Amino acid sequence: MLPLCFARPISVIALGILLTLSACNQKTGQKSSNPTPADNSRTSLDWPGTYIGVVPCADCEGILTQIQLRADNTYEMATQYMGKSKETYRKKGAIEWDASGNQIRLVGANMPSGDMRYQVGENVLIQLDQQGKRIEGDLAEMYRLPKHDADNDVREKYWKLIELYGKPITVKEDQKREAHLILKFSGRVIGSTGCNRLMGGYTLEEGYRIRFSKIASTLMACPDVPYEGEFLKALEEVDNYALRNDTLSFAKGRAAYAARFVAVYLH
C-alpha cells in the first residue's frame, strides 16, 4: 500500500511542472514570433543608392524623378516635367524616418502635391500620399522608383530612342517630347513617339525575348517627327533584345538592330 500513498502527490508535482514548462514555451513562442523593433527597412535593407522612375503628372507626360539616398540620412533629388519643360529641378536635404523605420520624408523636397514621402522596400521606393498611405487606383503601379544599381533589369527605366534602323535620332531644340519607352513591372509599356503618346503591353521571356502587343498612340499630326511610323513598326516586329551597360537594343531574329535606346539619368 505504501507505493500507492506516494503515487498521487508525485503525479501532482509532475503535472505542475509540465504545466509550468508548457506556459513558458508558449510565452517564448509568442515572443519569438514578433519582430524586434530593429527589424525594419532602415536597419535591415541596403537602402542607400540612386532610385529612378517616372511618376504621374497632372499637366505633363510624367515626372522623371531621380533620388539619391545617402547613408548619413541626406538626399539629393532631381526632377524633370516631361513634355512640358527641359529644365531640371534639384533639391537636397535630410531624410526623416518614421517611428516604424519603414517610411521616409524628404525634408525640404515639397512638391505641388505636398511633402514627399516614400515607403522603403527591397531595391525600390514607393511614393506615398501626404498621410503616408499607399496610392491606390489604376495608376498605383506608376509610383515606383526602382534602385538603379539593383540589377540589370530593363524595366522601370526611362529609355530614350537614339537610333532607328541604323539612323541616328536627334531631338530638335523646340521639340518638347523625345521618343522614349518605359517598361512597367505590370507588363504595360508607356512612352512617346517624339510627338504622340504611346501605350500597350509587352512580355519578357527567357533568352532575352521580348514581344510588344496592342501598341497604340494618340493621333496628333507630327510633321517634325518623320520617324514616328517606323518607330511604331519596329515595336510590332521585334522579338529579342540586348542590354549592355546603359544601352538597350531591339531586333527581329538575327537581323540588325531595329531600335536602340539609352537610359536617361538626371545629372
**What's the CATH code of the domain at 174?**
2.40.128.270
CA-wise closest residue to 115 among 123, 126, 104, 101: 104
C-alpha cell at 257: 538592330
> Residue 185 domain-assigned?
yes
> Residue 206 domain-assigned?
yes
Q: Is the domain of 191 the same as that of 219?
A: yes
Q: Of 78, 112, 146, which residue is a domain's last?
A: 146
Query: What integer pLDDT is reported at residue 145 of this predicted model?
Result: 92
pTM value? 0.68
Q: Is the domain of 102 the same as that of 187?
A: no
Q: Of 117, 146, 175, which residue is a domain's last?
A: 146
Q: Is the domain of 133 the same as that of 185?
A: no
Helix or strand holding residue 89 (H, E): strand 88-97
What pLDDT digit, counting tens, does each position of 37-66 carry?
A: 568 999 999 999 999 988 988 888 889 999
* Domain span including residue 62: 41-146
The structural domain count of the chain equals: 2
Cα separation, 259 vs 164, in Å, equals: 5
> Residue 74 domain-assigned?
yes
What pLDDT digit, counting tens, does each position of 139-189 carry?
A: 888 899 988 765 578 988 889 999 999 999 988 777 778 899 999 888 999
> Residue 81 domain-assigned?
yes
